[in-house]
Structure 1
Amino acid sequence: MRMSARLSAALTLLTALAALTACGSGGSDTAVDSGSGAAPTVTVRVPDPGNSGVLAVGKKDGSLDKALAEVNAKVAWTGSAGPFAPAAQALNADQLDIATGSITSGITSLSQNPGFKFFTATAPDPVGEGILVKKDSGIDSVADLVGKKVAVNKGGTGEYLLLKALAEEDIPAEKVERVYLRADQTAAVFNAGQVDAWAVWATYSVAELGLGEARFLVDGQTIGSDNYSLTAVRTDFAEQHPDVVAALYGYLHDASVKEKQDPAAYLNVTTDAGPQALSGEAKRIQIEFTGKGSPVEPITDTDITRFEAVARFYAEQQVTTEQIDIADHLIDVTTLS
């Protein structure tokens, strides 16, 4: 595998970096049981996973702590899950040890003196990401977006999906107006008709599709998306605790395989009511999307080639000022112990 073999070289999700400050910055990775002579316990700071997914189940039933106990580690749930950009800042500021995000957001974050590396890869979502339009919009092809406003999150999945869709149809990017919005603030704008379309991923598309008033103009598979989901680890943490990183990978892989087999068991983990819960058509859609997804895997040479294609595309589209060397920011988890 073409990857950096040394961990000594400089490697779900937060709504905002400020959400972490109450938990303190920096701090020790280990805690010693005073007076017992026990070996230090490693604490892994992970964003609170909310109400769905493998980490939500791991938090509820204690299975993640059980897996980490085998390498003398435990979890501290810190902040809350959200976009990768603020999570990357928290990793760089030593306020977080683990976070999940897309390769697209990862590339833009890697352009800013990163203090993290990626150690897992999940293949691009074939059905849950894409460009949403209203059913009665009259927009029936990517070409129909010319002269229209499309909401995207800057430098992340949304901007990538829009640019990729336009490039596939040889449509110059400047012919479509990009409206930069945070994904968690876009639904109201989209539903009010203030934008004509929304380039988005499953975290937000499921709710819109569940309402029955929106549809995908194109999805990720149609446009050949290389938008992987990745797990990042703070570089210093990985250097100091490779066995913990390996244990985290093992847990994420095994749990994600089970999630694909029984998606419903990983929804509404802590509550089936309120804004975090899914019900009705949205729940059915999420179960379908999850079942069509892929499990967490180690990063392979094939993955790296596709990562590099995204980095090259971002440079060509001037999302980044230069092509980011992805291989310098990856860990081969299969070599860890």
Structure 2
Amino acid sequence: MNLPRPLRTTLAPALLTVTALLALTACGTSEADSGASGADATVEIRIPDPGNSGVLARGKKDGSLDKALAKAGAKVRWTGSAGPFAPAAQAMNADQLDFAVGSVTSGITSLAQRPGFTFFSAVAPDTAGEGILVRNGSGIDSVADLVGRKVAVNQGGTGEYLLLKALAKAHIPADKVTRVYLRPDQTAAVFNAGKVDAWAVWATYAVAELGSGTAHFVADGAAIGSDNYSLNAIRTGFAEQHPKVVKALYQYLHDAGAEEKKNPAAYLNVFTDAGPTAVTGKAKEIQTDITRQGGTVEPIGPQDIKRFEDVAAFYAEQKVTTSQVDIAPHVLDIEKLS
């Protein structure tokens, strides 16, 4: 299986739009953004609760994230819970959240509205952990066998992208397969009850199914040719007011992600190793292997933007969006922040 390629770090002139904006505003810090007043006030950055696994969960438990942000005069305010990017984007637009993680696919559909967020870093596609899941013994042995079947997808996000990309690669018209739009956190029960024939999904939800031994990928991200990057987004107003905090957050995510690749098990079951949020047994082995194969958080370079644009063009071609979304103006040059 091919590993995700490293992200490029040379930045394009297209990134200068956001950078120039930051240069004009980096000297000020609004009381509304910081949650306090005075030159020595600590800035609060609102981040969704990270759950039981990953670098943010570990950073929350051991205090390492707050320690890293303190160097830039900031600390975390955990709020809500991590979930799909679309509602998180709406929360950033409404000044209720400062940071979120989502796929480039969900990012594109969110940018089609009036975005109040900017992408400041990315992780290369998880070609091992995403794909089209089918139940063992379903009789679905290839993408071609999906014709006439029902496939669960999250509308406008990773699932719909993976299905459409797989069908296009197999030269199968999209209307030959029925897309069933479901929230990913509500799909497992539907899939396991046989009410849909397949599920286009990513590691967050796929690992439990793969670990159960009752399902497998008929095509994973590598076979599909996925360009489904994971993107880190920051509220634009926050980035304008607190560029040093954004830079510190990026550095933490990059460094902690590199450590996670070396020792994936240390970033699983951070708060508890029992209950519904714990990853155990075969699922733990699968998740550990996926993490080792994955990428790390990196700056977004021109070659990455080109791949984002190709995904946006594909979405427009497939009529997921009404027109091609322009991504470059919403990418932040993290290496130029100070």
TM-score tier by shorter-chain length is over 0.9
Alignment partners' CA distance in 2, 1:92 and 1:175:
36
Alignment partners' CA distance in 2, 1:2 and 1:314:
25
Q: Is the 8 A contact 2:133 2:215 kept in 1?
A: yes
In the alignment, what sits opposite 2:281? 280
Q: Is the 8 A contact 2:19 2:333 kept in 1?
A: no
Q: 1:3 Cα shift?
A: 2.9
Residue type of the partner of 1:58?
G
Q: Is the 8 A contact 2:99 2:233 kept in 1?
A: yes
In the alignment, what sits opposite 2:14? 3
Name the SS of the counterpart of 1:29 in structure 2: helix
Q: How do 1:132-211 residues align onto structure 2 when only pairs under 5 Å count?
A: 132-211=133-212
Residue type of the partner of 2:34?
T
Q: Is the 8 A contact 1:134 1:197 kept in 2?
A: yes
In the alignment, what sits opposite 1:304? 305
Residue type of the partner of 2:166?
A
Residue type of the partner of 1:89?
Q
In the alignment, what sits opposite 1:77? 78
Gaps of 5+ in 2: 1-11, 23-29
Q: 1:38 Cα shift?
A: 5.7
Name the SS of the counterpart of 2:199 in structure 1: strand
Q: Which of the pair is proportionally richer in helix?
A: 2
Check 1:6–1:323 CA distance in 2 against 1; reply closer, same or farther (3 A cut).
closer
Q: 1:5 Cα shift?
A: 1.9
Residue identity over aligned pairs, in percent, reads 70
- TM-score, scaled relative to structure 2: 0.92
Check 1:41–1:162 CA distance in 2 against 1; reply closer, same or farther (3 A cut).
same
In the alignment, what sits opposite 2:326? 325
Alignment partners' CA distance in 1, 2:35 and 2:166:
49
In the alignment, what sits opposite 2:32? 28
84-93 or 1-10, larger mean C-alpha shift:
1-10
Q: Is the 8 A contact 1:10 1:115 kept in 2?
A: no
Q: Is the 8 A contact 1:133 1:198 kept in 2?
A: yes
Q: Is the 8 A contact 1:104 1:155 kept in 2?
A: yes
Check 1:10–1:319 CA distance in 2 against 1; reply closer, same or farther (3 A cut).
farther
Higher RCO structure (Cα 8 Å, ≥6 apart): 2
Name the SS of the counterpart of 2:246 in structure 1: helix
Gaps of 5+ in 1: 12-25
Q: Is the 8 A contact 1:3 1:332 kept in 2?
A: no
Residue type of the partner of 1:203?
T
Name the SS of the counterpart of 1:164 in structure 2: helix
In the alignment, what sits opposite 1:293? 294
Q: How do 1:226-237 residues align onto structure 2 when only pairs under 5 Å count?
A: 226-237=227-238
In the alignment, what sits opposite 1:20? none
Alignment partners' CA distance in 1, 2:101 and 2:20:
21
Q: Is the 8 A contact 2:150 2:179 kept in 1?
A: yes
Q: Is the 8 A contact 2:53 2:269 kept in 1?
A: yes
Alignment coverage as a number of residue pairs: 320
